[in-house]
Amino acid sequence: MKFRCEREILADAFSTAGRAATSRSGTLPVLSGLRLDVRDGQLTVTGTDLELTIRLSVPVHSDQDGSAVVPARLVADIVKALPAGAVEITVTDDEMSISAGRSQFSVRPLSLSDYPAQVEPEAEPVTLASSEVGDALRQVVRAASTDDARAVLTGVLMASEDDGLKMVATDSYRLAVRDLPQSSMLAVGQKVLVPGRALAELQRVLSSDAELVVRLGAREAVFEVGGTRLTTRLIEGEYPNYRNLLPSSYPNRLTVGRDALLEALRRVKILAQDSTPVRLTLGGDTLQLTAITQDVGNAHEEIDASYEGGEMTVAFNPDYLAAGVEAVEGDEVTLSTMDPMKPAVLRGVGHDEYLYLLMPVRVP
């Protein structure tokens, strides 16, 4: 196999596919590699850990077609470090040669025969607007758990509801729910649980002007955008009944500027060390934010706001609160509460399609 390609194109392809290649010990060594296939002026790069597969194709100048598996991280680092311009790659059975300008590298390839076969998706394709799906993923995926101890919480629930799609994620400390009316990739009443990690990678490759093609099978989901295909196994299990956390009404409602709240949180968080919560004092026409870290110091800031309800102080994990404020859209956000120990809900004013529920923290 022998081909040439611009460094930037090649580096991006290796980096994107390489995020699916595994670095875990105890797995098949070949899964730490990228599969390269050159056919008719196209280079296809594939990375997989058997749970997630990323495959993309880029145009190249090919002198000799062929296939090979090469070390993912090492080759990506080499190409990224090369000078700008064309990169020439030649792969034989026992050597991969990478050259650009006056730079020359030689790397040992991995076993091509050990690389798992890629199965073509059989499910019917559904086409969606990338921009809308990308916005929804940005808002929801952040709330999915990264702790494999409860596998179902590492996924994003996608459910068909009312001629649209609902996306839900929770790590048991916070909950994100986004409605996508008039958008559906599921049959009526169907639900699937897609790994949050896979959807985070999908966010990276989505572009606002491209269409997203989705194929949902019985055990896997396939997402295609441009020349990139992402395949992931679905998570099996019953998702928690999140609706029980959502009261029909809240007696207390704070309305505050989104940017002003984010800036105040950014400053106060400096003193919120070692998981120290940020206290919000609600009442009157201002919002007071306070962080107190024992033996370190404290921070206090006051910003303009409007509030309806009884005066109270409620405390939150500052990172989770900031993530929620960042996720909502609009110039103003509302924080609706029952009492200092019940879940609170963040929404963007005029953007009821999304909510971010946050569990408070008990403070003395």
Q: Taking a C-beta distance cutoff of 8 angstroms, is the pair 196, 104 a contact? A: no
Task: List the domain boundaries for the chain.
Answer: 2-107, 125-242, 246-358
CA distance 151 to 141: 15
pLDDT in tens, 122-136: 788 888 888 889 999
Q: In the chain, pLDDT over 90 holds for what percent of residues?
A: 76
CA distance 113 to 69: 9
Using CA atoms, how far residue 182 sits from 185, 358, 364, in Å, is: 10, 28, 47
Q: Taking a C-beta distance cutoff of 8 angstroms, is the pair 137, 165 a contact? A: no
272 pLDDT tier (thresholds 50, 70, 90): confident
3-state secondary structure 221-243: EEEEECCEEEEEECCCCCCCCHH
Is the pLDDT confidence value at 207 over 90? Answer: no
> What is the reported pLDDT for 28?
86
Structure tokens at 247: 């009261």
Q: Most confidently modeled of 171-180, 201-210, 267-276?
A: 171-180
**Residues near 70 by beta carbon (within 8 Å), at least 6 away in sequence:** 33, 34, 36, 91, 96, 107, 109, 110
Q: Please, what is the end-to-end C-alpha distance for the chain in angstroms? A: 67
pTM for this prediction? 0.91
Average pLDDT, the chain: 92
Q: 286 in the Ramachandran plot: left (φ > 0), alpha (ψ -120 to 50) or beta?
A: beta
Look at the domain 125-242 and name its fold: DNA Polymerase III; Chain A, domain 2 (3.10.150)
Q: Rounded to 5 degrees, what are φ and ψ at 245?
A: -85, -10
Cα angle value 333/339/344 (rounded, 5°):
35
Instruction: Residue count of the chain, please give it.
Output: 364
> What is the reported pLDDT for 216?
87
Q: Most confidently modeled of 82-96, 204-218, 235-249?
A: 82-96
Asked if the domains 125-242 and 246-358 are classified in one and the same CATH topology, the answer is: yes
Higher pLDDT, 26 or 325: 325
DSSP SS3 for 86:
strand
Higher pLDDT, 284 or 16: 16
284 pLDDT tier (thresholds 50, 70, 90): confident
CATH homologous superfamily for the domain 2-107: DNA Polymerase III, subunit A, domain 2 (3.10.150.10)
Neighbour order of strands in the sheet with 297-308:
191-195, 155-161, 164-170, 174-181, 351-358, 344-348, 332-337, 252-257, 297-308, 286-293, 278-283, 312-316
348 pLDDT tier (thresholds 50, 70, 90): very high
> What is the reported pLDDT for 248?
79
pLDDT in tens, 139-197: 999 999 999 889 999 999 999 887 789 999 999 999 999 999 877 778 788 899 999 99
pLDDT in tens, 27-56: 789 999 999 999 999 999 999 999 999 999
CA distance 77 to 134: 28
Using CA atoms, how far residue 240 sits from 20, 197, 246, 249, in Å, is: 28, 19, 13, 21
Interval 335-359 mean pLDDT: 95
The CATH code of the domain at 246-358 is 3.10.150.10
CA distance 288 to 281: 5
Q: What is the DSSP string of 96-153?
A: EEEEETTEEEEE--B-STTSPPPPPP-SPEEEEEHHHHHHHHHHHGGGS---TTSGGG
Interval 221-231 mean pLDDT: 93
Is the pLDDT confidence value at 274 over 80? Answer: no
Q: In the chain, pLDDT over 70 holds for what percent of residues?
A: 99
> What is the reported pLDDT for 25?
61
**Across 31-40, 209-218, 312-321, least confident range:** 209-218
> What is the reported pLDDT for 26?
62
Higher pLDDT, 60 or 161: 60
> What is the reported pLDDT for 325?
97
